[in-house]
Structure 1
Amino acid sequence: MLLTFPRFPLLRLSGAIERSSMSASPLSSPSLPLRGRTALVTGVSRRRGIGFAVATTLASLGADVVIHHHRPHDLDLPWGGDDLDAVRDGIRGQLTDGARFADIAADLSAPSAIADVIATATSLTGRLDVLVCNHAKSGDDGSILDMTPERLSAFWEVNTRSTLLLTAEFARLRAPRTDEARRPGDRIVGSGPYEEAQGHVFWMTSGQIHGAMRGEVAYAASKAALAGVTPTVAAELLELGIILNTIDPGPVNTGYMDPETTDRSLEDLDAYVASTPFGRVGRPQDPAELIGWLATSKGSWVVGQVLTSDGGFGL
């Protein structure tokens, strides 16, 4: 049954829902393991970004794809905003026959937007199977001497709170309804055992687990919270058959390492990168391919991990 939801002022579902020429099969195949599955990827507003690479990867595996974006955030940063029509076209170009696409504009710092984003994404096909929380606030950070309540709250609201709330809404799609409050130590009651994963959630953390991130205290704190709570939330989601993993993509150049659009000193960067075994930093496709594999049945035995995909930089 196709679910319908009212429109909300914080959301914009772009034009009409897109469908390719052939109807989608609800069954996956070895070549298209995500056929019949719907994925929501947040923070997809730039073709240089990890979110775009994740969305195109999931599309190429057969998924119906919904992307979220908040372009005003990019416009305030050195690398600026991308052409959203080009972003949409790039993802449409990777859809397989019969797969659908839609996009949503929302400011995830607003708690009222969270349930609306999940509901609108679910309305594309009537189901939601994969949630990739790729969105993040960056810029306007500082050292510990620069911290203010407002700065810390801004990073917490976008990077941490909204990720947890999106995950909660995703889980409620599969959870039995109850009005009883759970006490510390109480287990969520699901309907397992499960023959296969009932859903996948991916969080994104950062390099704070490997070393200092000078001048990025608010960002590192917000991401460290996600890495730290991963086992707790993963254990609870698993009762519902949902698999959570957190990805540390390592240093990936999404534009912030280009001299003309950087927000940091690049002194000695080229020499350092040349000295590494692969002689390069990460590309958006590197973590995207990991997420794509984990979202299939082949990756479903990996549960509750903080996985580093950085070509050895953390070593």
Structure 2
Amino acid sequence: MPRLPHPTPEQLRRDPLPLRGRTALVTGASRRGGIGHAVARRLVAYGASVYLHHHLPHDEALPWGAERPEDVVASVRAAAPDPERAQVLHGPGDLSDPELPARLIATAADALGGRLDILVANHALSGDDGTLDAIDAGNLDRHWAVDTRSVILLVQAYARLRAEPASRTPGGRVVMMTSGQDIAGGMAWELAYALQKGALASITRSLATALAEHAVTVNTVNPGPVDTDYMSGTGYDAIAARFPAGRWGMPDDPARLIAWLATDEAEWITGNVIDSEGGFRR
């Protein structure tokens, strides 16, 4: 097999809009303090059109509360090179419903012109967890349904869409999210969550192999502790002190990695679980 030539000088010059013309679905992009919002802003800034998924009842039940989707969309659109023309759409969905993932993929693809290049499965069930003594079958099942089953069904529906001749376009990307549950110390106080996120980490390489025939890369990102407005006070300061930089990770820290994985520069990266933890000392 002939060796590939070195890139030309023109190919080495970075396109300021490396996702120009690409389309993306970002799940769990319901509030401006979250990672999903930060990822969507980066993708839009790189030229992509984006569909934002949200499930407001989930946020309404938590201390941070829900935001108006229109406000999240406006913040994402403002990051675009041309905000007036940027395509940023949104829609709701309860991903604990096993029928929803396929509908969401179809809805996003239709809204974005009939194709979907990038899937970022960022959503997760917050709360409703505990230690080994506290967990029960109910919260194990709830975390399974939202954190794992829905992600696999989203990837399945995405793969079926990419298998259609009209969808065989360059730049197929899947990015899933995990939480460092396999790193020293684990997450003994969030066993249901850690279990389901660990399943995504374990299935990453198998999914990458399954989607390779569709020219799709699959990677999973562990963002480490990220300041998404869920902690304050002395606990917040104690976590910050465990980073060499003396600060928490911010939503844009993993967003930069995820956006890069979506570009053509990352086409040779697949089947990996990638830590983006800023040197966090566990």
Q: Which runs of 4+ in 1 moved over 4 A?
A: none
Q: Deviations over 1:189-212 (max 9, x none)?
A: xxxxx9x95400000000202132
Identity %: 49
Q: Which residue number corresponds to residue 222 of structure 1?
A: 196
Post-superposition Cα deviations, 1:33-66, rounded to whole Å, max 9, x if no partner, equal: 1111110000011100000000010000000110
Displacement of 1:75 in angstroms is: 1.1
Of residues 248, 271, 292, the one that matches 2:222 is 248
Query: Scaled by the length of structure 2, what TM-score is found?
Result: 0.88
Instruction: State which of 136, 139, 144 in structure 1 corresponds to 2:124.
Output: 136
Counterpart among 58, 65, 80 of residue 50 in structure 2: 65
Please give the residue correspondences for 1:17-36 in structure 2 after superposition, counting only pairs within 5 Å.
Answer: 30-36=15-21
Aligned to 1:161, the other structure's residue is in SS state helix
Cα gap change, 1:229 to 1:79, in 2 (>3 Å): same
Give the drift of 1:176: 6.3
Runs of 5+ consecutive residues of structure 1 not aligned to the other structure: 1-28, 178-193, 260-265
2:100 equivalent to 1:127: no
User: How far has the Cα of 1:161 moved from its partner?
Assistant: 0.3
Taking the aligned partners of 1:55 and 1:174, their CA distance within structure 2 comes to: 21
Q: How does 1:163-242 map to 2 (within 5 A)?
A: 163-175=151-163, 197-210=170-183, 211-242=185-216
Contact 1:34-1:62 at 8 Å conserved across structures: yes
10, 19, 44: which is aligned to 2:29? 44
Contact 1:197–1:243 under 8 Å retained in 2: no
Q: Displacement of 1:77 after TM fit?
A: 1.2
CA 270–243 in structure 1, closer or farther in 2 if over 3 Å, else same: same
Distance 1:258 1:249 in 2: 19
Opposite residue 176 of structure 2, the aligned amino acid is W
The 1:197–1:36 alpha-carbon spacing in structure 2 relative to 1, beyond 3 Å, is closer
**Letter aligned with residue 122 of structure 1:** A
Tell whether the 8 Å contact from 1:197 to 1:300 is kept in structure 2 after alignment: no
Post-superposition CA distance 1:181-239 (Å, at most 9, x none): xxxxxxxxxxxxx9x95400000000202132132010000100000111111111112
AA of the residue aligned to 2:40 = A
Distance in 2, Cα, partners of 1:198 & 1:294: 10
- Give the counterpart letter for 1:99 in structure 2: A
Q: Could you tell me whether the CA contact under 8 Å between 1:58 and 1:292 is conserved in 2?
A: yes
* Displacement after TM superposition at 1:257 (Å): 1.6
Aligned equivalents of 2:238, 2:53: Cα separation in 1: 37
Aligned pair count? 263
Report the more deviating stretch, 96-105 or 162-171. 96-105
Identify the residue that residue 56 of structure 1 maps to in structure 2. Answer: 41
C-alpha separation in 1, matches of 2:134 and 2:40: 35
For residue 108 of structure 1, what is the aligned residue in structure 2? 95
